[in-house]
Every structure is written in structure tokens, then in C-alpha cells.
Structure 1
Amino acid sequence: MNNEFLLHTADTDELQDKNYLDEYSRTVTDVVKATSKSIVNIKTRKPPAGRPVQNIYPTFAMGSGFVISSNGIILTNHHVVNNIGEIIVTTPDGKEYPAKIIGADAATDIALLKIEASGLNPLTFTDSDRLEPGQIAIAIGNPLGFQHTVTSGIVSALGRTLRTQSGRLIDDVIQTDAAINPGSSGGPLLNSKGHVIGVNTAIIKGAQGICFSVSANIAKYIATELLTKGKIKRAYLGIIGQNVNLPNDLINQWGLVKKTAVYIGGVDNKSGVENSALQKGDILIQLNDQVVGSIDDLHKLLTEKCINKELNLKIIRKGKLLELKVTAGELS
């Protein structure tokens, strides 16, 4: 009896043929190829505490980021570069650049860096309000120092609320099962076209397949403000909110313009905010005659012009339309 056996393998030409890949694999590989030149590695080192010890140097921590402007503007997470003494950005071609922080916002965990480089390849943001659970999500970053690691999954849920390391809450967070590990923070979450739908920011320790990204719309708005003003000064209503779909009978009853609004999941009676008229369970649909269809809308409306000002709100409470007044404080 012949004990020899034969392993069947595809020939080289077949393996190199793009048609060998299924549609999902082609989508992911095309995104990786299109965006690979835009993802950077970020090394950070904190200044030594107390007196320096000779010949002993603090080790680098790792993070990720991506190019948003060809002249060297990098977007990453605030927690990646917060309280850091030295920042080194490594581009995909292996070049290292010292970086400086040009703006940061702990409330949304977004920060911008500047490196002295030109001709870089920026990524494109898409409208994250149009995301739907179940669509493809691709994360690229540098987890645990392993550069340019690609993971993929789906958008698991929308409108999550996440508490940052600073203790502040980020609203309108995207939940995904695309694996995000330490060192991936600050990298992009991409759709099937290679456009940014979020900025990878957090995981839940001990859980599998539960990762979070700041939505592209919030990241884009914050980045624009940081570029033009250098800091974010915003008003604060003292609420915990999330996006909610409105039932058709409510839309028709009150002639609402948008099919979504902001559900108030909690009220924080913070000093400087007079919001006693609000209750948990209220649905916010309008602020100062401006329609509020999402957390993104609310963030854009709560500018520094609203600080210490009386604001007119329209809310739905137990099916009834109410008009209320609150006084906004400043988000510290």
C-alpha cells in the first residue's frame, strides 16, 4: 500500500489573479492599497519625573494617526499625545519627523499634530450621519508597535456614549467589531470606499469585538475649529444625549423636518448651567430656531456664543411638544 499523499495547492498564476479573491476581500485590499500612504505611526515619550538618571531613558509609547492635509497635518487622539514631552511621527516610507501639537480637544479625544513635510496623501472624510449598522468597517493602525495592521468588521451600533480618560463623555460614538488594540488609537475607521467614518479611540478591556470610534462628522468639525482657532471653546447644556429615530406618527403630528433628534438620557446639574427644566427622557428637536437632528447638530450649535446665554429649546416629552428655556455654561 502506498502511504504517500498529495496536498492540492493552487498554482502561482491563480494565487496572483485578483479574481481569486472574493468580493469582500477585494474591497478590503483595495481600501488598504488606497489609504496605506496616509496612515502614520506616532511614538511618544513623557518627560522624566524628578531628576534625570544618567543613561536611563523612558521608553516610547505607541499610537496611530492619519494625514488630513498634504502639508503635514496629522489627526490623532488627544489621549495619545496628552502630557507628552516628545512626539515622533513615522510616515509609511520610514521617515521620522518630530511633531508638535497645534490643537487638542479632550472632550472629543481629538488632537492635531504638525510635521515639517509636504506632498503627503490626506484621507477624505465622509458623512457619518449616513452610516448604517451592518456596513463594512476597516481599521488601520499600529497596535502594540506592529505597524500598519489591518482589521475589518462591521459598524455594530451608532449613537453610543463613551467616557474618555479625562472623565468627559463623548456622544455619537460608533461601535465596531473591527479589532482595535493598544497602539491603534488615533487611526482611521474606514468605509468600503476608503473614506474616514471614524477615529479609533477605545476598547473595553475583557470584552471581544466591542471597540469604539469618534464619528467622522465630529472629528472633521473639531479639526476645522482647531486649525482655524487653535482651541475649542464651547457651551454646555449639561445633558447626556444620543441620536434617536423618531416614529412617523410623532413626525406627522408635529410637522417635524427631520426624522431624527437627540434623546436626553441624563441631566447633569453642573455649576454654571441652568437646566432644571429638562428631564431624562426628553427628546430635543430644536435650539434657538435651529433644528437639532443629531448630536453632531447640537455640538455645532453650542458654540462659544451660547456661553452664559439663555437658549430656547423645543422638546418632546411624553408625546407633547414643549418650549423651554435653559442657560448654557462653558465646557471646561
Structure 2
Amino acid sequence: MDYSIFRVFDDSGAERESVLPNAVARDDTALMDAYSNAVVDVVDAVSPAVVHVQVKSTRGGRTGQGSGSGVVVSPDGLVLTNNHVIEGAQSIALVQSDGQRFGARLVGRDPDTDIAVLRAETTERLKFARLANSKKLRPGQIAIAIGNPLGFQSSVTAGIISAVGRSLRAENGRLIDDVVQTDAALNPGNSGGPLVNSSGHVIGINTATIMGAQGLCFAVASNTAEYVLTQILSHGRVRRGVLGIVAEHVALPQRIRHALGLTQAGAIGIRSVQSPGPAETAGLKAGDIMIALDGAAIAGVDDVARVLDAKHINQKVLATVLRAGEKLEFSIVPEERN
């Protein structure tokens, strides 16, 4: 076996020689090449579906211009972006990666999740990206962000998924649940662009960074974005029932799943209970773990939003929770979110 010699320094600062088999070095190179090729393939596939969103808006009596990113999710021109990108817009234009430009109209928006839906004003069939099932995401998976940070069109950053099931406060003060945390660098202008996986499917809509913190970037999970999209297309807005809780995704230990005969890997942990509110009235407490609602398994926060649609507002639903290892059921009457 052939070797390469490297000069390194130990903890005391003394220089010494180290050897590394060239085969190992070649393996590392092959892995890096595979990673690079995977990112390149994803960018080639998804970039045509990413658009630069240009907005003329009025806020506080002042007229200005803004921009962000968006992603086409259907060939007839449906585009997902952030609500804060288009808020107050008087006119919206979309620019594709090849420079083609066309207008867009607002189909609907949901400030609670910072998601907006646009319709491209073109008769052409557009390249589009498919939405992934964000419930299957795991920390450590590759995450690739494509957008227009600081006005630089079609920029790409790559990293990993740092965490799933986070909560993030939207501009209107509401908590956005089921947020994906990534260390793929995001900057102003990335807002509304896609966060994609190694298969080229959208796993989130980039929404925010924490200024002054490195590697803390967030995207609204694709399942939440898809739910908002379908609600807006069906009703023009998102009608929601609320339980009056703040919750986060939690993993269910195997022993608990086995003991209770559960097939789901996760549930939601209740961090706090609003007073007054439906959950408090029903008897739920902080620390409870909700595993089912209205007979549907609750494996993540986005599942609650799906159950609490318009037809469940002011109607009794049964919540199944774990409390101190005991399985309990509570009857709750969701209220409509204002």
C-alpha cells in the first residue's frame, strides 16, 4: 500500500510526521466528488423552477420596492413564496433564471405561516419543483437553498438539516410551528425560495435567519406549505381551529410505542396552555404529549393543523395524550382562529 507523508503539530506544538494511506485520501476525494455532483444535479433540476419575486409596495404611506424568491410548484404557474415578501404589494413581477419576466397576481396569503401563493400571468407551461413529505426529514440530511440573496440571482448554498419541528414567531406575532432549521446560509432575498433535499424535492420555504447568529436559518416545512396552498385554492384563505396550546415535535421512545401499540415515531409535546382557551377548559396541561386528535395519529405539529380545519371549528374533538406514562383522553372544542 502506498502512503503520503504529512507534517502535523501535536498538542505541545512539536512538529511530527504523519502518514495516511493514499487509498483513504482517494476515498475522501470520491466522497466529496459524489457530494458535489449530488448538489450540482439538484441545482440543475430545481433552478428553472426558482423565480426572483420583484414587488412594488406601499407600507406606512410610502411607496417602495422589494424583492425575494419563490418556487413554481405546478406547471400552470402556481408559486409559493413568503407573505412578508409580497405584503402590501401593488404589483408583482417574476423573473426566471433565464431572464424571462412576467407579471403575477396574488391568489392568497397566510400571515400565520408566512406563506403566500401567487399565480404567474403566462400561458406557458413552467418548470416546477415537487413538494416532499417533510415529516420524513431527519437532522443531518443534506439541505440546499436556492434563491436571490442580496439581489444575486440564482445563488446556491448547501448544508444540512440541523433540526426539525422548531417553532418560529411570524411577523404578526403568531408562532409558526413545524419549522425546519438548517445551516445552509440564507440572506435577505432568499426569503420565499426553496430548501430542497438531495432528490431535488422541496422540503421547506426559506423564511428567516437570526441576525448575528451563524448557522441558524429557518424554513417553513413543505407539509405546512402544501396545506396552506390547498386551503387557499379551496377557500381563498386558511380557516383554522385552535386548541390554545404551544407545542413542539417530540420523539416517542420505542418502549412507549411498543407498550401502547403505536406505529408513529413522534408526537407533539405541549409546552404551554393558553388561559383562557379550549385546551385549558378541557383539562390539558403543559408537559402532556398528544398522540392523537379526532382519531388521527399526531406525529408532528403539522398534523394538528390538518385535523383542525374549518369543519372542526366549534365541534368536539377527542384528544389522546400521555401524562406521566398514562394514556388519557380529553374532549376539546376548538375555536376559530381570528
Pick aligned residue for 2:89 from 73, 79, 84: 84
Pick aligned residue for 2:107 from 102, 105, 109: 102
* Larger displacement relative to structure 2 (287-296 or 31-40): 287-296
Post-superposition offset of 1:228? 2.4
**For the structure 1 residues 273 and 98, does the alpha-carbon distance in structure 2 shift closer, same or farther, using more than 3 Å as the test?**
farther
Aligned counterpart, 1:72? 77
**For the structure 1 residues 96 and 326, does the alpha-carbon distance in structure 2 shift closer, same or farther, using more than 3 Å as the test?**
same
Q: String of CA shifts for 1:115-165, please: whole Å, max 9, x gaps.
A: 222210010111111111111000001111111110000000111000001
Aligned counterpart, 1:244? 250
Q: String of CA shifts for 1:187-207, please: whole Å, max 9, x gaps.
A: 000111111011100100110
Partners of 1:174 and 1:212 lie apart in 2 by 6
**For the structure 1 residues 153 and 44, does the alpha-carbon distance in structure 2 shift closer, same or farther, using more than 3 Å as the test?**
same
* Larger displacement relative to structure 2 (40-49 or 138-147): 40-49
Pick aligned residue for 2:50 from 39, 43, 47: 39
Are 2:36 and 1:30 equivalent residues in the alignment?
Answer: no
Aligned counterpart, 1:16? none
Q: Secondary structure at the match of 1:47?
A: strand
Q: Secondary structure at the match of 2:58?
A: coil
Q: State how 1:32-181 maps to structure 2 within 5 Å.
A: 32-47=43-58, 58-117=63-122, 118-181=124-187
Partners of 2:290 and 2:81 lie apart in 1 by 31
Partners of 1:297 and 1:271 lie apart in 2 by 20
Are 2:229 and 1:223 equivalent residues in the alignment?
Answer: yes
Aligned length: 308
Partners of 1:148 and 1:275 lie apart in 2 by 50
CA contact (8 A) 1:262 1:293 kept: yes
4+ residue segments displaced more than 6 Å? none
Q: State how 1:284-299 maps to structure 2 within 5 Å.
A: 284-299=290-305
State the Cα RMSD in Å: 1.9
Are 2:335 and 1:324 equivalent residues in the alignment?
Answer: no
Q: Secondary structure at the match of 1:69?
A: coil
Partners of 1:116 and 1:45 lie apart in 2 by 17
Q: Secondary structure at the match of 2:80?
A: strand
Aligned counterpart, 1:279? 285
Partners of 2:254 and 2:39 lie apart in 1 by 37
Q: String of CA shifts for 1:258-294, please: whole Å, max 9, x gaps.
A: 2211111111225677545111110001112222122
CA contact (8 A) 1:46 1:85 kept: yes
Which ranges of structure 1 fall in alignment gaps of 5 or more residues?
1-18, 53-57
Instruction: Please give the TM-score of this superposition, normalised by the length of structure 1.
Output: 0.88
Q: Secondary structure at the match of 1:158?
A: strand
Aligned partner letter, 2:314? N
Post-superposition offset of 1:256? 2.2
CA contact (8 A) 2:241 2:310 kept: yes
Are 2:206 and 1:195 equivalent residues in the alignment?
Answer: no
Partners of 2:59 and 2:318 lie apart in 1 by 50
Post-superposition offset of 1:105? 0.9
Post-superposition offset of 1:48? 7.1
Partners of 1:48 and 1:295 lie apart in 2 by 33
Instruction: Please give the TM-score of this superposition, normalised by the length of structure 2.
Output: 0.87
- Percent identity between the two aligned chains: 44
Partners of 1:293 and 1:262 lie apart in 2 by 7
Aligned partner letter, 2:93? I
Post-superposition offset of 1:330? 0.8
Post-superposition offset of 1:59? 3.8
Which ranges of structure 2 fall in alignment gaps of 5 or more residues?
1-29
Partners of 1:322 and 1:272 lie apart in 2 by 17
CA contact (8 A) 2:243 2:278 kept: no
Partners of 1:272 and 1:244 lie apart in 2 by 22
Partners of 1:151 and 1:225 lie apart in 2 by 31
Aligned partner letter, 2:155? T
* Higher strand fraction (1 or 2): 2
